[in-house]
Structure 1
C-alpha cells in the first residue's frame, strides 16, 4: 500500500476526531446552559479536551508542512493561529467561577470550529479520492470526458 494513502487516511481520522471533540464540547456547553451539569464537572471534562484539540490540530498542520501541502497548511494556519492565541492568553481553560459569562463565547467558538472541521474533512476526502483516481486509474479513465447535461 502506498504511504500517501495512509497519509490521507491519517489526516481524515484526525479530522474526524476533531469533529467529534467539537460536537462533544458543544453538547457539554449546552448541558451546562440547561443546568444538567455543574460548572466544576464541566471544567473537569473539557479542560483536558482543549489541550488535546490543540495538539491534534498542531499535528495535522505538521503533517501538511512535512508533505508540502501549502494550500491546506495556509487554510489550517488561520485556526492554528487562533489556537496559539487562545493558548498564550490563557483562554484555553474553562474556570468554573466565570463560565456562565463566557458560555456564549465558547459555544460560538466551538460552532465555528465544528463548521471548519466538517468543511475541511470533506475537502480532504475530495483530495484523497482525486489522488486515488489520478494515481491508480487507467490512462483511458483519466482522459474520459464526463458529459454535462
Structure 2
C-alpha cells in the first residue's frame, strides 16, 4: 500500500476532527445564547478545545511541510492554511501571556458574538479545505493507481 494514501487519509481525518470540534463550539455557544447551558459548564467544556484545536492544526501544517505538499499541489489554500496556523498561534500566545487563555464564565456573554464569529469562520475554512483535500486525494489516487486506459478515457459530451 502506498504511503501517501495513508498520508491523505490522516489529513482528511484531522480536518474532519477540526470541523467537528468547531461545530461543537458553535452549538455550545448557541446553547448558551438560548440559555440551555450554564456558563460555568460551557467554560469547562470549551477551554480544553482551543489548545487541542491549535495542536491538531499545527500537526496538519507540519504534515504539509514535512511532505512538501505545497510544492506538489501548488494551490493558494495551503498558504492560507499556514496564515491561519500563525493566527492561531498568535491568539494562543497572546491569551497565554495576558492570562486570558481560558474562557471565563463571568465575561462570556459580552464576548459571545466574537467567539461565534471566530468559530463560524473556522468552520467555513475547515469545510472548504476538507473538500479540497478530498479532491486532491482522489486526484492522487486516479493519477497513481488507475490503469492507463482509465486515465486517457474521454468522457462523451452529449
Calculate the aligned-residue CA RMSD, in Å.
Answer: 1.4
* 1:58-90 deviation line (CA, Å, top 9, x unaligned): 000000000101145413112112201211211
* CA distance in structure 2 between the aligned counterparts of 1:148 and 1:53, rounded to whole angstroms: 45
Task: Specify the alignment match of 1:81 in structure 2.
Answer: 86
* Structure 1, unpaired ranges of 5+: none
User: Aligned residues, how many?
Assistant: 149
1:142 and 2:151 correspond: yes
Shift of residue 92, structure 1, vs aligned partner: 4.9
* CA distance in structure 1 between the aligned counterparts of 2:13 and 2:6, rounded to whole angstroms: 10
Shift of residue 53, structure 1, vs aligned partner: 0.6
Task: Specify the alignment match of 2:19 in structure 1.
Answer: 19
1:21-100 correspondence runs (5 A): 21-70=21-70, 71=75, 73-90=78-95, 92-100=101-109
1:94-109 correspondence runs (5 A): 94-109=103-118
* CA distance in structure 1 between the aligned counterparts of 2:157 and 2:59, rounded to whole angstroms: 40
2:36 alignment partner, SS class:
coil
Greater Cα shift, 44-53 or 66-75: 66-75
Give me the TM-score of the superposition, normalised by structure 1.
0.94
* 1:83-139 deviation line (CA, Å, top 9, x unaligned): 012112116531112111110010010011001111111101100000000001111
Greater Cα shift, 62-71 or 126-135: 62-71
1:129 and 2:138 correspond: yes
1:107 alignment partner, SS class:
helix
Give me the TM-score of the superposition, normalised by structure 2.
0.89
Greater Cα shift, 57-66 or 132-141: 132-141
* CA distance in structure 2 between the aligned counterparts of 1:80 and 1:92, rounded to whole angstroms: 17
Name the one with the larger helix percent.
1
* 1:22-74 deviation line (CA, Å, top 9, x unaligned): 11000000011111112111111000011001100000000000010114541
Shift of residue 143, structure 1, vs aligned partner: 1.7
